[in-house]
Amino acid sequence: MVHEQVHISRTPGDVAANVASVLLERLAQAQTEGRVASVVLTGGSLAREVHRAVAEHADSGTVDWGRVDFWWGDERFVPADDGDRNAGQAWEDMLSRLPVDPARVHAMPAADDSYEDLDAAAWSHGEQLHDWVAAREPWFDVLMLGIGPDGHCASLFPGHPAVASEADVVPVHDSPKPPPRRISFGLGTLMRARHVMFAAAGADKAAAVAASVAGGDVHAAPSAGPRGTETTGWYVDEAAAEQAQVRR
């Protein structure tokens, strides 16, 4: 049975700690079941807190970090050394502090010379993803997502044509939130994880969290779309949970 639940913590720090510990459990579980574990990371301030919390558990021994594949649900299409890159931030906060296998870190292309063209970069990353997923079903163990106050998730924004794209990896032109050029997993790809973990904190997220939990029109609120094949969890603080219809 597919399980959906809102997990409410008191503070944003508590949310991050909870998400980090559930993520570690899920990765360890995947490895116990004999798989190379996989996680799709996201950006944003709360995700950064989660990453730092995970890095603190580097030595816990429950996860074999060399046998974890890392992907991103979206990326800002800026040069590789730009501090805005989700991948760069994740390296700084977490990956550089864990014994990961660099070959299993699948960062999205950066806007450097070889990938000047956004459409070509998204296409090329899609090819890389297709090679990797070949025999996997579902594709990912865990998919992490933030939620914007406007209801966006990954780099899929309300009313933006990228939401309707059937591509697995989508070039996002004219993002309403800077930077304007981004790459995002398409909505279809965001449906291909065992466990979807949304994390959000703050009163400005309350309406968007409610829309995400309720489901419904993904063009109005893209975060209403992604669901895990086994579980979907919203990890929120009390302020962000305020408008969601939840069983407490």
Contacts with ligand 6PG, residue ranges (CB under 6 A): 42-47, 146, 148, 155, 177
- Contact partners, residue 30, CB within 8 Å, separation at least 6: 36, 37, 38, 141
* Residue given tokens 């594949």 in the structure block: 69
DSSP class of residue 133? Answer: H
Q: What contacts 117, CB < 8 A, 6 or more positions away?
A: none
Which CB sits closer to ligand 6PG, 99 or 176? 176
Shortest CB 162 distance to ligand 6PG, Å: 13
CB-CB contact of 183 with 239 (8 Å) = no
- Of 47 and 209, nearer to ligand 6PG (C-beta) is 47
- Closer to ligand 6PG at the Cβ: 127 or 204? 204
Q: At which residue do the structure tokens 């956004």 appear?
A: 118
* Strands 169-172, 182-185: pairing kind: antiparallel
User: Tokens representing 124?
Assistant: 């090329």
Q: Which is nearer to ligand 6PG, 18 or 30 (CB)?
A: 18
Write out the E strands in the chain. Answer: 3-9, 37-41, 68-72, 74-76, 140-146, 169-172, 182-185, 193-200, 231-237
Q: For residues 107 and 75, is the Cβ–Cβ distance under 8 A?
A: yes
Residues 6+ apart with CB under 8 A from 40: 71, 72, 73, 140, 142, 143, 144, 185, 193
Distance CA 83, CA 237 (A): 27
CB of 160 to ligand 6PG, least distance (A): 13
The residue behind tokens 């979206």 is 74
